[in-house]
Amino acid sequence: MFGFSNPQRFWQLSSALLPWVWAAAVLLLLTGLYWSLVASPADYQQGTSVRIMYVHVPAMWMAMACYAFLAGASLISLIWRHVLADVAAKAAAPIGATFTALGLITGSLWGKPMWGTWWAWDARLTSVLVLFFLYLGYMGLWAAIDDRVKAARATAILALVGAVNLPIIKFSVDWWNTLHQGSSVIRADGPSLHASFLYPLLVMGLAYMFLFAGLLLVRMRTEILNRRIEADRRRRAASETLVPTSPEGAPHG
């Protein structure tokens, strides 16, 4: 892990990895989309609108996975002061927030024909909405604190406090009577979904994961570049003198 804490090394590694990550993401996405939207069977009850599942479920998987990643990176950042850990957490947050929003919107679109309502205040939907606001609060705290080291540690604490929400989201459909259906994939008895639905779903899940990985690496590289620019500007500002030494700036008279 500490071999990767050197930003230079990370830069080289990510430069090498990125084309493959994007290639995998595009390939998996195209395969998954074709398989799920065209080649998979329609549900006997829901008809073709079951296909929203292939976009909605992986988005929600990623929404939770991103937060878990963020919380894990925050923990590493706090305990080991790992240089790139807080960069990774900061980079992951907007991606996770977008996945959450995507999941909420697609879920709402699915809910209207299926349940008859765009929204319900059941445990699953409410806890995912809370997750969305946790993401926003996390991003807001990063933006509000000027000192970068202080911001990294403050947001790490916030991320860990909010991580309590993750098991609540996962088990909300078991602990409460919810409108949202129970777990069909990640359960103690194994997936209850038929293979013809499960496999395209897993391909889409994998595609979303590679998409996240690609976006994360790009965002992390951008953040590293931003910090280099900032450091460079500071160095220049510190070395500027008030009285110019060049002839053009020589005082008159």
Q: Which of 49, 126, 178, 183 binds other proteins (CB under 8 A)?
A: 126
Question: Is residue 145 involved in binding other proteins (CB under 8 A)?
Answer: yes
Looking up tokens 């079951």 gives 50
Pairwise CA distance, residues 211 & 220, whole Å: 14
| Closest to other proteins by CB, 13 or 130 | 130
| Closest to other proteins by CB, 154 or 206 | 154
Q: Which of 18, 68, 101, 130 binds other proteins (CB under 8 A)?
A: 130
How many other C-beta atoms lie within 10 A of the C-beta of residue 72?
17
CB of 135 vs other proteins, minimal distance in Å: 10
| Closest to other proteins by CB, 30 or 144 | 144
Stretch that binds other proteins, among 16-24, 31-39, 139-147, 228-236 (CB under 8 A): 139-147
Question: Is residue 228 involved in binding other proteins (CB under 8 A)?
Answer: no
CA distances from 2 to 18, 23, 68, 178, 249 (A): 21, 28, 20, 44, 49
Q: Which of 136, 193, 202, 206 binds other proteins (CB under 8 A)?
A: 136
CB of 232 vs other proteins, minimal distance in Å: 24
The number of C-alpha atoms within 13 Å of 163 and in the hemisphere containing its C-beta is 18
CB of 153 vs other proteins, minimal distance in Å: 5
Q: For residues 139 and 94, is the Cβ–Cβ distance under 8 A?
A: yes
Q: Which of 161, 225, 231, 250 binds other proteins (CB under 8 A)?
A: 161
* Cβ-based neighbours of 120, under 8 Å, separated by 6 or more: 111, 179, 180
Question: Is residue 79 involved in binding other proteins (CB under 8 A)?
Answer: no
Q: Which positions lie near other proteins, rule CB under 8 A?
A: 126, 130, 133-134, 136-137, 140-141, 144-145, 149-150, 153-154, 157-158, 160-162, 164-165, 168
